[in-house]
Structures are given as structure tokens and as C-alpha cells.
């Protein structure tokens, strides 16, 4: 685990390889963004429920609102290839919770732009890869995890099992840090026959987050290489960068 906090800007730069290779290094030939069918909380891609986008600007809307949060679910989320940018409508909510069910995880190498400022919680049990060109706009707090669940004070969001009706009870904010994200149950869902483990990989990125960046790979690996991560600005009292995993 690596964690740091300060009243000043945190800059975290690594030019060496940390961790191990993973399933995330795959061909982008069929890269696209696709909302789940039936269980996507009415997530829309370019205006269509269950839609998909493989080129140009991908516009994400719909989803399910509950309390302070908006929830979205995707079958695939891979911005490699011909996608230029991803715009996501937050619905004016304080928190945006995204679940990705793809077994090959999430790949982001383009800008993710929210319509208004919102804390972003990204759950992708198949892994998360942030590549060169990836970035986040209007995201004061970025939370990435390979777990399948996110805890709230009044309930639990599960990437695979939670239905729209279950979200009505999740009115408050997600619990912070490792208290919020679930643990090793991710390993019960993914096929581990090839000895892969959950991985969060940041390669060649240069991103700035206003307040917090939390990357959590329970039972897995957090890799950072040739990257620069800046957390904090003059308007925040305290910035925090936290990386957690079996190996960091």
C-alpha cells in the first residue's frame, strides 16, 4: 500500500515498471463502449439504451439516480481505436458510480469528460488500464477498483448483481477509501485458470486530479510506469494519493 497526503500539490512520477504484466495488454481491434443489455440501469450510449460506440465522440447518458449518486453499467468500456473522447452526463449528481462487467476490464486512453463536477467511482473486476492520452475532466476525486462492490452507509452496490430497484436505498455517499470498496470476492467471479490476478495499470499517463486519487486492486497488482500523476491544487486543504494491492 502506498499513501500520501499534503496541503500542497502531490506529484507522483515513475519511469520504471512496477508489478507484473496482465490480461490488459490485448489487441484494440474491437475496442468500443457498450452499455449492458437489460441490467445497465438504462445507460445510454449515443442516445440508445444498450447502445455502443466505436468511433468519434461517445456520449453517455441515462443511468439510474438515487440520492447523491448516479449509477451506470457497461458490458464493455475500451476507448482504444477510433474513439476520440467520452462525454458523460452526471445528471448534476455529486457522485458517479460506474460498473464494467467485461472480463478483459476497462481500457481508457482518451479523455473522459463529465458534464459537471462529480466524484467518480470506477469498478471493473476484469482490470483497469489507463494509457497515454487518458484523462479525466470535472473529476475532483477519482476512485478506481478491481473489486465488484462499493459500500454505502445504507447498503451495497454490486457490479454484477445489483438491480435498479436495489439502488433506491443508496441515498448517501459511498464510504471512503478501502472502507468503501469490497475485497477478495472479486476472485470468485473471474476465471483465474490462466493465473492472472486483478490489475490496475497506469502506463504513459499524465493526469491531474483536484483532491483525491484512490486505486485499489485487492488481491492483485497496481502497476505504474512512465507516468505522472498530480493530485491537489491551491483551492483544496488536503490532497491524497493512495495505491493499494497485494503488490504495488
Q: Would you state the pLDDT for residue 219?
A: 84
Using the predicted structure, report yes or no on whether residue 20 has a pLDDT greater than 50. Answer: no
Q: Provide the CB-side half-sphere exposure for 117 (13 A, CA).
A: 5
Q: Which set of grid coordinates corresponds to residue 30? A: 474491437
Confidence of residue 233 (pLDDT cuts 50, 70, 90): confident
Give the residue extent of every domain in the chain: 2-22+29-247
Q: Would you state the pLDDT for residue 36?
A: 85
Confidence of residue 3 (pLDDT cuts 50, 70, 90): low
Closest by Cα among 123, 114, 111, 110 to 90 = 114
Using the predicted structure, report yes or no on whether residue 243 has a pLDDT greater than 70. Answer: yes
| Helices and strands per DSSP (H, E), number in the chain | 1, 24
What is the rounded end-to-end Cα distance, in angstroms, of the chain? 6
Using the predicted structure, report yes or no on whether residue 8 has a pLDDT greater than 50. Answer: no
Kindly report, residue by residue over 122-143, the tens digit of the pLDDT: 999 999 999 999 999 999 999 9
Kindly report, residue by residue over 26-83, the tens digit of the pLDDT: 445 578 999 987 778 999 999 999 999 999 999 999 999 999 999 999 999 999 999 9
CATH of domain 2-22+29-247: 2.160.20
Closest by Cα among 72, 70, 65, 115 to 95 = 70
| β-pairing verdict for 64-66 and 69-78 | antiparallel
Cβ-proximal residues to 90 (8 Å cutoff; 6+ apart), any chain:
70, 96, 114, 115, 116, 118, 138
Q: Which set of grid coordinates corresponds to residue 239? A: 490532497
Return the top range by mean pLDDT from 94-98, 150-154, 172-176.
94-98
Q: Would you state the pLDDT for residue 17?
A: 39
Overall average pLDDT of the 171-176 stretch: 93
Confidence of residue 197 (pLDDT cuts 50, 70, 90): confident
Mean pLDDT across the chain: 85
Sign (positive or negative) of CA dihedral 146, 40, 108, 27: positive
Amino acid at each position: 500500500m502506498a499513501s500520501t497526503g499534503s496541503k500542497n500539490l502531490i506529484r507522483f512520477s515513475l519511469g520504471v515498471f512496477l508489478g507484473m504484466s496482465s490480461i490488459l495488454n490485448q489487441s484494440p481491434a474491437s475496442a468500443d463502449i457498450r452499455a449492458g443489455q437489460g441490467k445497465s440501469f438504462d445507460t445510454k450510449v449515443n442516445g440508445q439504451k444498450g447502445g455502443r460506440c466505436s468511433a468519434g465522440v461517445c456520449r453517455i447518458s441515462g443511468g439510474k439516480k438515487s440520492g447523491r449518486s448516479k449509477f451506470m453499467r457497461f458490458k464493455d468500456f475500451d476507448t482504444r481505436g477510433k474513439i476520440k473522447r467520452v462525454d458523460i452526463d452526471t445528471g448534476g449528481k455529486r457522485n458517479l458510480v460506474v460498473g464494467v462487467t467485461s472480463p478483459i476490464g476497462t481500457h481508457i486512453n482518451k479523455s473522459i469528460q463529465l458534464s459537471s463536477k462529480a466524484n467518480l467511482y470506477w469498478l471493473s473486476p476484469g482490470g483497469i488500464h489507463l494509457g497515454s492520452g487518458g484523462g479525466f475532466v470535472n473529476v475532483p476525486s477519482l476512485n478506481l477498483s478491481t473489486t465488484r462492490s462499493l459500500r454505502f452507509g445504507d447498503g451495497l452496490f454490486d457490479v454484477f448483481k445489483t438491480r435498479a430497484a436495489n439502488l433506491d436505498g443508496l441515498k448517501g455517499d459511498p464510504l471512503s477509501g478501502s472502507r468503501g470498496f469490497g475485497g477478495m470476492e472479486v476472485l470468485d467471479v473471474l476465471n483465474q485458470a490462466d493465473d492472472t490476478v486483478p490489475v490496475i495499470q497506469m502506463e504513459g499517463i499524465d493526469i491531474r486530479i483536484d483532491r483525491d486519487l484512490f486505486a485499489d486492486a485487492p488481491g492483485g497488482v497496481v502497476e505504474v510506469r512512465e507516468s505522472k500523476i498530480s493530485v491537489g491544487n491551491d483551492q483544496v486543504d488536503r490532497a491524497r494519493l493512495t495505491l493499494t494491492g497485494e503488490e504495488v
